[in-house]
Amino acid sequence: MQEIKIERTTAPKPRDYDEHKLGFGDIFTDHMFVMDYYEGKGWVDARIVPYGPIPLDPAAMVLHYAQEVFEGMKAYRRADGKIQLFRPERNFARLNLSNERLCIPKVDEAFCLEALKKLVEIDADWVPSLEGTSLYIRPFIIAVDPHLGVRPANHLMLIIILSPVGAYYPEGLNPVKIYVEKNYVRAVKGGMGFTKTGGNYAASLKAQDEAHDQNYTQVLWLDGVERRYIEEVGTMNVFFKIDGEVVTPALEGSILGGITRASCIEILKSWGVPVSERRLAIDELYAAYEAGKLEEAFGSGTAAVISPIGELKWGDKIMTINNGEIGPLSQKLYDTLTGIQWGKLEDTFHWTCPID
Ligand SMILES: *Cc1c(COP(=O)(O)O)cnc(C)c1O
């Protein structure tokens, strides 16, 4: 494995924020991990350096053709003070899945995990300890060669930055109102929907904006061909409990394979709850609702873990789920996942990864 050069900051930033008031993604730690890829040389110059701006040529390919992929995960402070990650090897595996689709050279997953652990260790004091807070980890790759022709890049950078973030639910789990999107689509099969790439988010902003104007938090995406099959919610995968069975859309190329999603499925199965990964049409969901069989709905993702859905608006039809309150299964999943992540419950699945 290549060596990681370490240059520590001589001017540590004051950590004078109130952990009760931490938001999401505004504060960054003292260091970052950087590595370059050059055609013919591979990934080289692994280094941990003081956090700061990076020089970028105005012709850098990422700025013109969106050659970018990213990941999102968290480091959690346990009650005993130790720090742990949650299934981080899955994030680096998914990074390579995204890389492959965007013609970005693959990374050494084991090496990236080692580099991440080292970085978190160096900035360990930045991992907050208040209930529900964590250190958000953002690895990303950008194409930096100055070139305006469209082609895969020859020079790229992998960077990992860290950001202490606040509790997602400081006042308890709050069900969200979701708008079923009929006009815009996020991704299609054959496109990039299964990858974590900035372009997918750029494509989603307009719908998000219009949903906000109508007082809805996020949109529920339907498939891009028939505008009928449920895909996912904004930055989350989605689950429905229908007549005792938990249903989530199957991963067929246009949906992001969430690590929280995979973990929910494994936990539900371990409890003996029937789970089905399949196509689910919005009209089927509405029929289940009308028959009184739509029992719970929730989104899943690293940021919120579980986000209960209290209301769905599909055209002029409104579905109020579980009286707009969190359902018992959603609550139990939330408690179990967060219990494992913050080290309060025994990690029977072996999902956590200690930093030291
Ligand atoms: C990251 C992401 C998710 C959730 O994935 P997790 O690994 O559970 O955090 C879901 N949908 C989209 C579009 C995403 O980008």
Position 323 pLDDT exceeds 90: yes
Nearest ligand 1 atom to alpha carbon 186: 13
pLDDT of residue 251: 98
List, for residues 286-304, the tens digit of each pLDDT value: 999 999 999 999 999 999 9
Our answer on whether the CB atom of 260 is closer than 6 Å to any ligand 1 atom is yes
pTM over 0.85: yes
Nearest ligand 1 atom to alpha carbon 262: 8
Q: Give the C-alpha distances (Å, rounded to integers) separating 332 from 163, 320, 337.
A: 28, 21, 9
pLDDT of residue 1: 78
List, for residues 219-245, the tens digit of each pLDDT value: 999 999 999 999 999 899 999 999 999
| Ligand 1: residue whose CA is nearest its atom 5 | 258
pLDDT of residue 114: 98
**CA atoms of 141 and 85, how far apart (whole Å):** 21
What's the CA-to-centroid distance between 272 and ligand 1, angstroms?
25
Mean pLDDT of 329-335: 98
pLDDT of residue 234: 86
Q: Looking at 54-126, which runs of residues are DSSP E strands?
A: 68-70, 73-77, 83-86
Our answer on whether the CB atom of 219 is closer than 6 Å to any ligand 1 atom is no
Nearest ligand 1 atom to alpha carbon 94: 7
pLDDT of residue 269: 98
The SS3 of residue 96 is helix
List, for residues 116-165, the tens digit of each pLDDT value: 999 999 999 999 999 999 999 999 999 999 999 999 999 999 999 999 99
pLDDT of residue 173: 86
List, for residues 44-53, the tens digit of each pLDDT value: 999 999 999 9
- Hey, what are 146's tokens? 């100055």
List, for residues 264-287, the tens digit of each pLDDT value: 999 999 999 999 999 999 999 999
Mean pLDDT of 38-48: 98
Position 168 pLDDT exceeds 90: no
Q: Give the C-alpha distances (Å, rounded to integers) separating 324 from 8, 113, 190, 232, 321.
A: 49, 40, 36, 20, 5
What's the CA-to-centroid distance between 93 and ligand 1, angstroms?
14
